[in-house]
Amino acid sequence: MTDIRWIDQALTSSRPQVLGALLRYFRDLDTAEEAFQEACLRALRTWPQNGPPRDPAAWLILVGRNVALDATRRLKKQQPLPDEEAISDLDDAEEALAERLDGAHYRDDILRLLFICCHPDLPATQQIAVALRIVCGLTVKQIARAFLVGDSAMEQRITRAKARIADADVPFETPGAVERAERLAAVAAMIYLIFNEGYSAADSTEDLRRSFCDEAIRLARLLIRLFPAEPEILGLGALMLLQHSRTPARFDAAGAIVLLEAQDRGLWDRTMITEGLALIDKATRHRRPGPYQLQSAIAALHARAARPEDTDWAGIDQLYAGLERLQPSPVVSLNRAVAIAKLNGPEAALAMIEPLAPRLSGYFYFFGVKGAFLQQLGRIPEARIAFNQAIALANTAAEAAHIRMHLDQLLEDATPGDGAKVSH
């Protein structure tokens, strides 16, 4: 007898492997999805009695493949349907076969599946929507709610994206080493996009968006299992775990943003932090630093500080300098300026961000940070202008409310306060 909830979770977590393999057989997303669903139904019927198979994913792949093949044959012959029990009672034979399936095959299947979702022809939001639908199995309704659009609009968007994928010439042969590395980078970027979609939570759908973070971390763990010696994948996993560990402390009871410095560090999820630090440890041994590793190392320095004043800002500044070399971007420089403000004061930091203004003129955090530096320098009228610009660019109500709080504070007194922070 197997717990039904365990089965449910086993089906969910096997989804990328199974769908990836079925896609390889049938080269058609809809067929693969239908076959997966039918295999899940059969699992729900047989596993409670017979117990779960040794490798649930392999079992589902074989059953799903047989189901879809049977369906095709049936259509060809136009014969009456065979007795339901006759086709579903094959589990003993299937189990023996399933045990011979090599886990290494999953690697390319999953990579292919994820890579299809991050097809370069699709805009980023569609990539995320398709990945959440196909790889994670979220319902259209769930995804629509998270993106704040109607069900039918999201259904259309996903259908259109799938059609575009079907039209595109998707290569199904096993990718070579170079291609695999390129795909892995694209897939990592997509997983991080899913994570960020959840991390920048809009108030109304916070639970759902939080589950985006959980899904992204689950996918990263899956990739780490498949590619255990890829330091950037380890870094990505670490980065998301360390950022997500702060989720319980990032908003107060009223839903207002709590800055990193003001967060109750006792609320941070220690298990996630430990796991994130362990992954960075492993990645560092490869001596092949990359953007995800550097960002996770920065998050780790925050996580290691028991109190805000214990933060190793010099270390953070160095890591941002490394990131600027590896992946130059005005946002990275803006983040570095926050560390510079801690080390050398707001004047130096302000001088550092001023050249960034033309490129960050539409960026909420730029004006939030600028306002905070000006506020610390006592340049109140200029600070007020910057904060007003930030409010105009706020992405969520919580962000706008947070800046408004700064403005209220400016009105009350002109004493230096906390800086608005960037992406921590």
Site membership for another protein, residue 221 (CB under 8 A): yes
Site membership for another protein, residue 384 (CB under 8 A): no
Site membership for another protein, residue 198 (CB under 8 A): no
Q: Binding mask 13-32 vs another protein (x if CB under 8 A, - otherwise)?
A: xx------------------
Site membership for another protein, residue 288 (CB under 8 A): no
**Residue 130 vs 272, nearer CB to another protein:** 272
Among residues 120, 167, 271, 306, which is the contact residue for another protein, using CB under 8 A?
271
CB 230, min distance to another protein, A:
9
Among residues 183, 282, 359, 424, which is the contact residue for another protein, using CB under 8 A?
282
Number of residues that bind another protein (CB under 8 A): 29
The footprint of another protein on residues 227-266 (CB under 8 A) is 228-229, 237
Site membership for another protein, residue 285 (CB under 8 A): yes
Site membership for another protein, residue 179 (CB under 8 A): no
CB 128, min distance to another protein, A:
19
HEC readout, the chain: CCCHHHHHHHHHHHHHHHHHHHHHHHCCHHHHHHHHHHHHHHHHHHHHHHCCCCCHHHHHHHHHHHHHHHHHHHHHHCCCCCCHHHHHCCHHHHHHHHHHCCCHHHHHHHHHHHHHHCCCCCCHHHHHHHHHHHCCCCCHHHHHHHCCCCHHHHHHHHHHHHHHHHHCCCCCCCCCHHHHHHHHHHHHHHHHHHHHHHHCCCHHHHHHHHHHHHHHHHHHHHHHHHCCCCHHHHHHHHHHHHHHCCHHHCECCCCCECCHHHCCHHHCCHHHHHHHHHHHHHHHCCCCCCHHHHHHHHHHHHHHCCCHHHCCHHHHHHHHHHHHHHCCCHHHHHHHHHHHHHHHCHHHHHHHHHHHCCCCCCCHHHHHHHHHHHHHCCCHHHHHHHHHHHHHHCCCHHHHHHHHHHHHHHHHCCCCCCCCCCCC
CB 151, min distance to another protein, A:
24
CB 234, min distance to another protein, A:
8
| Sites of contact with another protein (CB under 8 A) | 6, 9-10, 12-14, 52, 56-57, 211, 214, 218, 221-222, 224-225, 228-229, 237, 269-271, 274-275, 278-279, 281-282, 285
